[in-house]
Amino acid sequence: MILHARNEQRAKEAATAFGDPAAVVVGDLASLEETRRLAADAVAAAQGPLDAVIHNAGIGSSEHLTTGDGLDAIFQVNVVAPYLLTALMPPPGRLVYLTSGLSSRGQLVWDDLQWKRRRWDGSQAYSDSKLHDLLLTFAVARHWPETITNAVDPGWIKTRMGGRGAPGSLADGADTPVWLAVGEEPDATVTGRYLKSRRPLTPNPLAVQPAQQERLLNVLAELTSVSLPTT
């Protein structure tokens, strides 16, 4: 198992919590440079393609925060980072992207993805990013048919972002992503779906449109100067 931590302190905590992982790679997803290095370090630690990758990092904010790269922080961490990691690493056997039920109210505002013109709405920005994650999931599933690629709504989970009042435990949130990463049952080996509690859901209709998926890939390729390798 290879773990990811945002910084060295969190890496030490992760290594202690998980006992003896194969490696803990470090990188702040709010930095394009660190995300690039993270991808290289993960590949080096695995010595090649990974069996499965779970993209579960994400942020929300009531403030409109901008990263050192000049990008909207929610968009960079929730969307740009998983795209860049995907594009820079060899296709794994399985890919899991965490999204949210809030993707149902997500919007595609192509001329203002960075919230430079619109009045800031943190909840809408988060919802939009989760719709973007669905678009990314279905785009990768189309382009990499040999990789089992799915998106998961983990539910409202007791995390720092979810808060203590959330009804779901960490185990609840992890169940479906881990099942998709390692499960051998037929239902765990189907690609191109959006699931919650191991059951398929109907995604936002915008997410299943190939033209919209390609538009997002083009935007992300321009922002990162890295295109998704396609077959």
What are the sequence ranges of the domains in the chain?
Answer: 49-224
As a whole-number percent, the residues of the chain with pLDDT over 90 amount to: 84
Whether the CB-CB separation of 129 and 74 falls below 8 Å is answered with yes
For 148-167, what is each residue's pLDDT tens digit?
999 999 976 666 666 666 66
Mean model confidence pLDDT for the chain: 93
Question: pLDDT per residue over 46-61, tens digit each?
Answer: 988 999 999 999 999 9
Q: Can you tell me the distance from the alpha carbon of 182 to that of 189, in angstroms, rounded to the nearest whole number? A: 9
Report d(CA 139, CA 149) in Å as an integer.
9
Q: Which residues of 69-89 are buried (b: 16+ CB within 10 A; e: fewer)?
A: eebbbbbbbbbbbbbbbbbbb
Residue 157: its pLDDT value, please?
Answer: 67
Residue 157, beta-bridge partner list: 168
Of 67, 64, 88, nearest to 77 (Cα)? 67
The predicted-structure confidence for 202-223, as pLDDT tens digits, reads as follows 999 999 999 999 999 999 999 9
Q: What is the pLDDT of residue 156?
A: 66
Q: Which residues have a catalytic role annotated? A: 126, 130
For the 49-224 domain, the top CATH level (class) is: alpha beta
The rounded distance, in Å, linking the Cα atoms of 140 and 85 is 12
